[in-house]
Amino acid sequence: MTAVPLSILDLAPVPSGSDAGGALRNSIDLARRAESFGYHRYWVAEHHFTDGVASAAPAVLIGLIAAATDRIRVGSGAVQVGHQTALSIVESFGLLDAVFPGRLDLGLGRSGQRRSEALAAIAAPRPAPRTESQVVDGLLIPPPFDYTAIAASPRWAVHAGLQQQPGAQSPDFAEVVDDIRALIAGTYARDGIDVHVTPGEGAKTELWILGSSAGQSAQVAGERGLPFAANYHVSPATILEAVGHYRSAFRPSEVLDRPYVLVSADVVVAPTTSEARELATPYGHWVHSIRSGRGAIPFPTPAEARATPLTAEQQAQVQDRLDTQFVGTPAEVAEHLSILRAATDADELLVTTITHDHADRVRSFELLARHWFA
């Protein structure tokens, strides 16, 4: 099977004993190296209110990374549109495109929806969730994780309120995407008045939609003929539904004449399987900190993780993510990625890796690239 392009998603993880400054310097260093390794894109995430992730402002971090590299595409995976206006997003990325023309990807995510909408979804009757894992074309599809406790928590409400002006409400995701497209194209008008933005109008950014389910994000990406990034590493239970819904909704556009799917995976690569598993030891603790609602903790060392083992209940809360993390030698991880690609018919793969030591994370990406592009 011919290798498809391989790209990187970076959360700017903060290791235990370090700080945000160290994490961001590590990200810039990793991006430089990723360019030399042959990776196609380098995307950064947007996360807030966590001690263990430093990527809170994607546009700022993208600018730092673009300035430190020469050729690799740099982008967001993804800007949370519920927290910003279409204008602010277009101006931010338009400014970056003016300095680094033709290298930017503007990935948009639906995160940041209105709290009332989230609570209404929780209260609505839902079918009983699938409780058994499935294997489809060799790919493990675990049962879905239930996020209702997180969405209903007081902490979540406080965090959501801090990300918007008092009384503000997030517009419909499709409306935001359309406004962004119109502002970039120079076709935006309201109340009979043409609106033009500088920088931003005419920017050569690639517009992407990111999604984790067969919901509005996949629908919007398909109907507008935009490329779609689906998150196996975040929501492995819904990956097939997400890409299937996107493809069924797809309509050719000036951007694409056929669907284009990128699929993400969480990987750890080392020279031996045992070493890779050792480096991945803290992953369950880190995922549990997120799913408990307190936010990602600084990534522990393997020894720190072993000193405070997860309880059986905590282990059950993260088992789906542990089972779908690809850990091993370059050949072993590449085989898992090939299965993921075949099962989803992906046009491109996006890998993310978190280890405590920066050198181990760099080596993981280097080993994988050498094998993948050989």
pLDDT value of position 131:
79
Tokens representing 269 are: 């690569």
- Statement: 6-372 belongs to CATH 3.20.20.30: yes
What pTM did the predictor assign?
0.94
Place of tokens 């370059």: 330
Helix 20-37 with 358-372: angle, nearest 10 deg: 20
**Integer angstrom CA distances of residue 18 from 10, 54, 148:** 17, 11, 32
pLDDT value of position 246:
98
pLDDT value of position 148:
74
Distance of alpha carbon 360 from alpha carbon 366, whole angstroms: 10
Place of tokens 């046009």: 347
pLDDT value of position 172:
92
Per-residue pLDDT tens for 196-209? 999 999 999 999 99
pLDDT value of position 171:
87
Q: Which of 288, 282, 279, 314 is nearest to 300 (CA)?
A: 282
Place of tokens 């997180």: 150
Distance of alpha carbon 243 from alpha carbon 228, whole angstroms: 8
pLDDT value of position 151:
67
Per-residue pLDDT tens for 120-159? 555 555 556 677 999 999 999 999 988 777 766 777 677 7
- Segments of the chain with pLDDT less than 50: 1, 114-116
User: Which residues lie closer than 8 Å to 327 by C-beta, 6 or more apart?
Assistant: 267, 268, 273, 276, 277, 280, 333
pLDDT value of position 115:
47
At 198 the three-state DSSP class reads: coil
